[in-house]
C-alpha cells in the first residue's frame, strides 16, 4: 500500500522556502525595473520606446504574475498543513 499523509515539519519547511523564493522574485523584479529605468535615460528612439513598452506592458506583468503564483502556492500549502494538523489531532 502506498504511503498517504503529510510530513508536516517538512511541508512547513517547503512553505518557508516558497516564501523565500517569492521574496527573491520580488527583489529581482525591482532590480530589473530599476535597470529598465536606467536604460530609458541612455537610449532614445523607436526601438527604445518599444523596449520600454514591452517591459512595462508584458514582461513586468509576467514576473508579477509569477510572484503572485508562488504566493498562492504557499497559501495553499499553508492551508493544507493547517487542515492536516486539525485532522491529525
Q: What is the pLDDT of residues 50-86, one digit of tens each?
A: 999 999 999 999 999 999 999 999 999 999 999 999 9
On the question of pLDDT at 1 being above 80, the answer is no
Instruction: Name, in order, each residue with C-beta under 8 angstroms of 49's C-beta and a sequence gap of 6 or more.
Output: none
Q: Which pLDDT score, from 0 to 100, does residue 4 have?
A: 83
| Confidence (pTM) | 0.87
Q: What is the pLDDT of residues 18-54, one digit of tens each?
A: 999 999 999 999 999 999 999 999 999 999 999 999 9
- The whole-angstrom separation of Cα 22 and Cα 69 is 9
Residue by residue, DSSP assigns 15-40 as: HHHHHHHHHHHHHHHHHHHHHHHHHH
Residue with the three cell numbers 504574475: 65
Amino acid at each position: 500500500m502506498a504511503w498517504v499523509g503529510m510530513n508536516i515539519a517538512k511541508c512547513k519547511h517547503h512553505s518557508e522556502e516558497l516564501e523565500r523564493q517569492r521574496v527573491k522574485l520580488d527583489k529581482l523584479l525591482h532590480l530589473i525595473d530599476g535597470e529598465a529605468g536606467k536604460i530609458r535615460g541612455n537610449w532614445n528612439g523607436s526601438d527604445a520606446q518599444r523596449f520600454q513598452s514591452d517591459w512595462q506592458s508584458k514582461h513586468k506583468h509576467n514576473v508579477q504574475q509569477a510572484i503572485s503564483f508562488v504566493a498562492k502556492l504557499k497559501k495553499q500549502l499553508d492551508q493544507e498543513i493547517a487542515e492536516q494538523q486539525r485532522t491529525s489531532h
